[in-house]
């Protein structure tokens, strides 16, 4: 019996051992060491804790860059949380800025040591994922003086991502061990050792993460507080040119940017001297060698003592500008676009500053004195200006809370957003009290309990980060129960996703909101040499720079006064966000624009305005931007270009078009205005109801109103109102066409002398009461739940804007590709007849015209091969008669495959032929061009004249100059041959004369792609025949 029991026990043990061996996580060979982790069946995540990524930074390696770890034999068990790096003791001081952070003790893990350069890896399941997964590298916070990877369990993020990511948490040197600065460290060590540790860890990830199932090409770095500040530093590291790239995306939760001095500034030097004195190294000939030989406990005592003596909310041991890894002030680097990574997501808390201000000082705090204590390089004058900037924002205590939160956390997030134009997203955690770091427990859920325990909210908030890390877009949901609404990209001032709860605390309240213009004013660029009362002064001052130049002039428009900003890098003065009309909301929805209300005081025109719904974030969007050369208003009235953006009459904004591009391409010889107008159903809802109780074509009326503004005010900005050229691309070019034919071509006084269209867009333009606009109106009414109202238009005026936005999205989404439900109509007043008829009758505003098309305009508007050409054209133009459809098939037969034919149909009918209609309306006063560099598709030519945010495909300086300056020369003198730069290689343009040869300029490159090929040619007669056909069926196509 005993033997049987022994054998049974042996069998059980053997079986258990066999099962354990089979289920044990794999041994990962890193070359220098092999590690085996542990599988946690409760989370279904495998953990590798305490992987050494660098040699212990001890002895002579103290205050030096990290070095590769030594080789270790045998299998290392990666099952123990590593010791944290040596910590400061700010948490023990009553004046500790982190005293309200309940998570601090959890961050510190078990014990602390200088030998702390370890990381942890977490992957889903018990075996290494076969498919490389997106990888998140988490950088912990703690003011650069405390914290560790210990309190962050990677399984949280792995499971929130539905097992779709690998997670790495890293440690780095802190306090004086990681951020001691001064000339001695520069000469005999390495500055910013803590940042170099992070960089070294990211290199480790690139080399080894594939062995853990991660994809090294899909790395996102993410951090909170000082961890977010570290993300900021890695983004600007090495002038934004780290190669090979170490990450593709960056996320910051409360971007932390305290005073970042140059390494040899008086303050870092004073701190170094204090460290030397407190460690009894003052009498040595080599003070840094003495510090290297000092006992770690001695240094830790100095670390804590010096940090504790700092002003409440200030940080002693932090990154510096070292001249090598961090080469310039962070704000300057971002302004110049020196960034690593492709995309960015930034989230702040509403009340970031509260934890960093001694709340017991409320009754006695002085805002002016506080600014000087927080930023010791400020003089009294700047302290007072800072205080005035926050005057009126609550009590003095509320003001310094705001000052601290905005200067150190919130504004740096906006600097990052602006450095990733059209590639960034902004969020705000607003659930009260919304103080610093309170958002962490909503994604690091094992570290604490969220204050708002609503599963839908937690999922929407946490999965936003995970979706972004996995796909670079928080809208790509991997969990269909996620209630997050659509999150628009951040574009120079708007919008942000607000994560809040309802006032009664019972449900989530997650919505987009336009950024507070007052906040953006206080956060304006620190390089702006203007004498405005904004936070740029603080940032410039504490960085050791001063700028006493006077700012751009204050322009009095009668209803408001605006002051812009001068950009020394472009030598252009910008006035951004000038209101030209009242907000078209409530009873003004679906009505013509009205003059803006009077505003007292000077308005800061330093923030790009929010875009118009539905692609933008607000209905209150009727703003324009003005750009003039130099820092003072030009004394001689300059030709003025008014740019109208495209976007199919449903998207786009002025924010992505930086007028400085055109000012400088014109050799500082022009003033530029970019305008916004209502879009989609907000700007182009049609039907009898709108005709009788509102105003049709509101978007066109906005443009017209903006052009009237230009006539009235542009001389105050140095422009000549008698020399205005309107220019647009796609729907912007279509808008140019509409303004040309507006009011039967008899607008008085004239609002422009010349017109330029790049890809003239003329979709079906029906009579306002045609069956198609009426059907669209009824769709809107039904989907907005207004069908039962006695006054449907009044009901639509009362409807929530987001409801209408959702309606528009559905209607647009259901439309046939290439068909635009919300576009201009023939309204009988502003647009009195079909465009092609008006132009044929010579009803045109303006004196001269330049039209440029792309060779393959239609390709972008056809998404699949058609069954046959006849059926396709019937869906594109549903009012065409059967015999007319057959004629289209005949005309395009032989022009390639059926797909090629329908691409030609869309391109010619909607873009190319309307350009010829315009040319014919300006006999002897027009020029025709064609952009032909392959693929020569719609919109691709824009990057050759709007160059600051786009990269031309053919990077030939001679070509770019010849192409872009053709437009500018025409705008300045009505003749593209009137060259202001004699190095321009463009050959002579002949006028386009309908009856005498029809010459047009072709902009191409040679077949081998090595040189420009710019030449004139005669217009293709077959194309003109097809255009005559499209003109003849205008009654049916609505053109």
pLDDT tens digits for 443-494? 999 988 999 999 999 999 999 999 999 999 999 999 989 999 989 888 754 6
* β 166-170/249-253 pair status: unpaired
pLDDT tens digits for 247-259? 999 999 999 999 8
Q: Do domains 29-213+261-317 and 584-766+822-1039 have the same CATH topology?
A: yes
Q: What is the DSSP string of 801-869?
A: HHHHHHHHHHHHHHSPTT--SS---B-SSSS-S-HHHHHHTT---SSEEEEEEETBTTGGG--S--S-H
pLDDT tens digits for 86-140? 987 543 333 322 223 333 233 333 468 999 999 999 999 999 999 999 999 999 9
Q: How far apart are CA 448 and CA 442, in angstroms?
A: 8
Q: How far apart are CA 1013 and CA 985, in angstroms?
A: 10
Identify which of 13-27, 218-232, 605-619, 997-1011 has the greatest average pLDDT. Answer: 218-232
C-alpha angle 388-393-397 in degrees, rounded to nearest 5: 90
Does residue 10 register a pLDDT over 90?
no
Q: How far apart are CA 695 and CA 334, in angstroms?
A: 44
pLDDT tens digits for 429-447? 999 999 999 999 999 999 8
Q: How far apart are CA 528 and CA 607, in angstroms?
A: 12
pLDDT band at 865 (very low <50, low <70, confident <90, very high): low
Does residue 646 register a pLDDT over 70?
yes
Does residue 822 register a pLDDT over 90?
yes
pLDDT tens digits for 180-200? 999 999 999 999 999 999 999
More confident residue, 521 or 45: 45
Q: How far apart are CA 327 and CA 84, in angstroms?
A: 29
pLDDT band at 1023 (very low <50, low <70, confident <90, very high): very high
Task: Report domain extents, the chain.
Answer: 29-213+261-317, 584-766+822-1039
pLDDT at position 21 is: 38
Does residue 530 register a pLDDT over 70?
no
pLDDT tens digits for 904-935? 999 999 999 999 999 999 988 999 999 999 99
pLDDT tens digits for 354-409? 988 877 765 567 888 888 777 777 777 787 888 888 988 889 899 989 999 999 99
Average pLDDT over residues 326-332: 92
Edge to edge, what strands does the sheet with 671-675 contain? 565-567, 572-579, 623-629, 671-675, 638-644, 719-729, 754-758, 848-854, 926-931, 999-1005, 1012-1018
Q: Which helix (H) or strand (E) holds 626?
A: strand 623-629
pLDDT tens digits for 75-101? 999 999 999 999 875 433 333 222 233
Classify 450 as helix, strand or coil: coil
Average pLDDT over residues 756-762: 97
3-class secondary structure per residue, 52-99? ECCCCCCHHHCCCCCCCCCCCCCEEECECCCCEECCCCHHHCCCCCCC
Average pLDDT over residues 699-717: 98
pLDDT at position 996 is: 62
Q: Are 763 and 731 in contact, with CB atoms under 8 Å apart?
A: no
pLDDT at position 787 is: 96
Fold of the domain built from segment(s) 29-213+261-317: Rossmann fold (3.40.50)
Q: 167: which residues sit within 8 A by CB, 6+ positions away? A: 121, 122, 123, 135, 136, 138, 154, 155, 157, 158
Calculate the alpha carbon distances from 165 to 122, 478, 618 in Å.
Answer: 9, 12, 35
Q: How far apart are CA 781 and CA 793, in angstroms?
A: 8
pTM for this model (two decimals): 0.56
Mean pLDDT of the chain: 89
Backbone region of residue 192 per phi and psi (left: phi > 0; alpha: psi in -120 to 50; beta: other values): left
Does residue 878 register a pLDDT over 70?
yes
Percentage of residues of the chain with pLDDT beyond 90: 75
3-class secondary structure per residue, 88-109? CCHHHCCCCCCCCCCCHHHHCC
Classify 955 as helix, strand or coil: coil
Q: How far apart are CA 512 and CA 805, in angstroms?
A: 12
Q: 484: which residues sit within 8 A by CB, 6+ positions away? A: 460, 463, 464, 474, 475, 477, 497, 510
Structure tokens that stand for 624 in this block: 């324009």
pLDDT tens digits for 13-22? 333 333 333 4
CATH class assigned to 584-766+822-1039: alpha beta
Q: No. of H helices and E strands in the chain?
A: 34, 30
Does residue 547 register a pLDDT over 90?
no
Q: How far apart are CA 847 and CA 1011, in angstroms?
A: 35
Lowest mean pLDDT among 1-10, 346-355, 514-523, 690-699: 1-10
Q: Which helix (H) or strand (E) holds 27?
A: strand 27-29
């Amino acid at each position: 019996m005993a033997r049987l029991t022994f054998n049974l026990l042996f069998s059980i043990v053997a079986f258990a051992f066999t099962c354990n061996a089979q289920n044990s996580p794999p041994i990962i060979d890193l070359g220098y060491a092999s590690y085996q982790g542990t599988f946690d069946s409760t989370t279904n995540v495998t953990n590798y804790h305490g992987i050494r990524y660098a040699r212990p930074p001890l002895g002579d390696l103290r205050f030096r860059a990290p070095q590769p770890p030594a080789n270790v034999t045998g299998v290392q068990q990666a099952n123990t949380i590593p010791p944290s790096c040596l910590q400061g003791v700010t948490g023990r001081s009553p004046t500790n800025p982190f005293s309200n952070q309940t998570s601090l003790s959890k961050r510190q893990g078990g014990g602390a040591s200088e030998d702390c350069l370890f990381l942890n890896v977490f992957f889903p399941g018990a075996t290494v994922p076969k498919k490389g997964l997106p990888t998140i590298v988490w950088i912990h916070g703690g003011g650069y003086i405390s914290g560790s990877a210990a309190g962050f369990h990677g399984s949280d993020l792995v499971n929130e991502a539905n097992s779709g990511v690998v997670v790495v948490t890293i440690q780095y040197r802190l306090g004086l061990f990681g951020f001691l600065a001064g000339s001695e460290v520069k000469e005999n060590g390495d500055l910013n050792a803590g940042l170099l540790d992070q960089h070294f860890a990211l290199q480790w990830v690139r080399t080894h993460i594939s062995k853990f199932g991660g994809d090294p090409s899909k790395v996102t770095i993410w951090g909170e507080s000082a961890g977010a500040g570290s993300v900021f530093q890695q983004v600007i590291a090495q002038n934004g040119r780290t190669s090979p790239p170490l990450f593709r995306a960056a996320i910051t939760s409360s971007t932390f940017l305290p005073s970042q001095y140059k390494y040899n500034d008086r303050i870092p030097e004073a701190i170094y001297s204090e460290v030397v004195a407190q460690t009894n190294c003052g009498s040595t000939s080599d003070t840094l060698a003495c510090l290297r030989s000092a006992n770690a406990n001695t240094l830790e005592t100095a670390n804590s003592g010096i940090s504790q003596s700092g002003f409440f909310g200030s940080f002693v041991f932090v990154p510096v500008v070292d001249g090598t890894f961090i080469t310039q002030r962070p704000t300057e680097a971002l302004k110049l676009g020196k960034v690593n990574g492709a995309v960015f997501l930034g989230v702040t808390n509403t009340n970031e500053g509260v934890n960093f201000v001694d709340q017991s000082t409320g009754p006695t705090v002085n805002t002016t004195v506080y600014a000087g204590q927080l930023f010791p390089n400020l003089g009294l004058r700047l302290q007072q200006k800072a205080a005035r900037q926050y005057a009126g924002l609550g009590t003095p205590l509320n003001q310094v809370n705001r000052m601290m939160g905005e200067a150190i956390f919130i504004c740096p997030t906006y600097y990052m957003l602006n450095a990733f134009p059209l590639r960034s997203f902004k969020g705000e955690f607003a659930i009260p009290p919304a103080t610093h770091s309170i958002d962490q427990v909503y994604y690091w859920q094992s570290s604490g309990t969220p204050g708002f325990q609503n599963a839908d909210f937690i999922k929407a908030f946490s999965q936003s980060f995970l979706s972004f890390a996995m796909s670079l877009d928080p809208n790509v949901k991997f969990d269909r129960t996620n209630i997050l609404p659509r999150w628009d990209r951040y574009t120079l001032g708007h919008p942000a996703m607000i994560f809040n709860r309802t006032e009664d605390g019972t449900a989530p309240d997650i919505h987009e909101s336009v950024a507070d213009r007052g906040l953006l004013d206080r956060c304006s660029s620190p390089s702006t040499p203007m004498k405005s009362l904004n936070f740029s002064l603080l940032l410039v001052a504490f960085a050791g720079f001063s700028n006493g130049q006077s700012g751009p002039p204050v322009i009095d428009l009668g209803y408001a006064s605006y002051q812009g900003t001068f950009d020394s890098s472009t030598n252009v003065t910008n006035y951004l966000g000038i209101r030209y009309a009242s907000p078209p909301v409530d009873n003004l929805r679906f009505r013509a624009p009205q003059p803006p209300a009077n505003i007292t005081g000077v308005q800061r025109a330093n923030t790009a305005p929010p875009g118009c719904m539905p692609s933008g974030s607000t209905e209150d969007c009727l703003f324009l931007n003005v750009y003039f050369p130099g820092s003072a208003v030009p004394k001689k009235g300059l030709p003025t270009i008014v740019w109208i953006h495209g976007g199919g009459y449903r998207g786009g904004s002025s924010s992505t078009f930086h007028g400085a591009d055109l000012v400088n391409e014109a050799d500082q010889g022009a003033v530029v205005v970019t305008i916004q107008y209502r879009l989609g159903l907000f700007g182009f809802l049609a039907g009898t109801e709108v005709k009788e109780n509102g105003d049709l074509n509101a978007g066109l009326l906005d443009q017209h109103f903006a052009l009237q503004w230009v006539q009235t005010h542009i001389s105050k900005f140095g422009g000549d109102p008698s020399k205005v050229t309107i220019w647009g691309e796609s729907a912007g070019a279509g808008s140019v066409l509409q303004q040309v034919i507006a009011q039967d071509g008899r607008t008085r006084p004239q609002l422009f002398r010349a017109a330029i269209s790049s890809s003239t867009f003329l979709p079906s333009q029906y009579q306002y009461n045609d069956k198609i606009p009426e059907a669209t109106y009824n769709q809107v009414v039904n989907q907005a739940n207004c069908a039962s109202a006695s006054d449907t238009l009044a009901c639509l005026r009362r409807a929530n804007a987001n409801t209408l936005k959702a309606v528009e999205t559905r209607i647009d989404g259901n439309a046939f590709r290439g068909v635009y439900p919300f576009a201009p109509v023939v309204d009988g007043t502003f647009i009195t007849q079909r465009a092609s008829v008006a132009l044929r009758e010579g009803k045109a505003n303006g004196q001269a015209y330049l039209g440029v098309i792309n060779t393959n305009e239609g390709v972008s508007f056809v998404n699949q091969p058609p069954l046959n050409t006849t059926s396709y054209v019937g869906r594109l133009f549903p009012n065409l008669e059967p015999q007319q459809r057959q004629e289209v098939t005949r005309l395009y037969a032989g022009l390639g495959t059926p797909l090629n034919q329908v691409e030609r149909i869309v391109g010619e009918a909607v873009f190319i032929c309307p350009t010829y209609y315009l040319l014919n309306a300006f006999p002897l006063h027009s020029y025709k061009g064609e952009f032909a560099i392959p693929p020569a598709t719609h919109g691709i030519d824009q990057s050759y004249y709007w160059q600051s945010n786009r990269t031309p495909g053919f990077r030939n300086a001679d070509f770019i100059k010849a192409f872009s300056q053709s437009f500018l020369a025409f705008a300045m003198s009505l003749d593209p041959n009137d060259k202001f730069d004699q190095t321009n290689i463009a050959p002579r343009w002949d006028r386009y004369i309908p009856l005498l040869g029809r010459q047009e300029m072709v902009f191409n490159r040679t077949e081998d792609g090595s040189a420009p090929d710019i030449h004139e040619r005669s217009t293709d007669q077959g194309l003109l025949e097809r255009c005559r056909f499209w003109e003849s069926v205008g009654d049916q196509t609505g053109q």
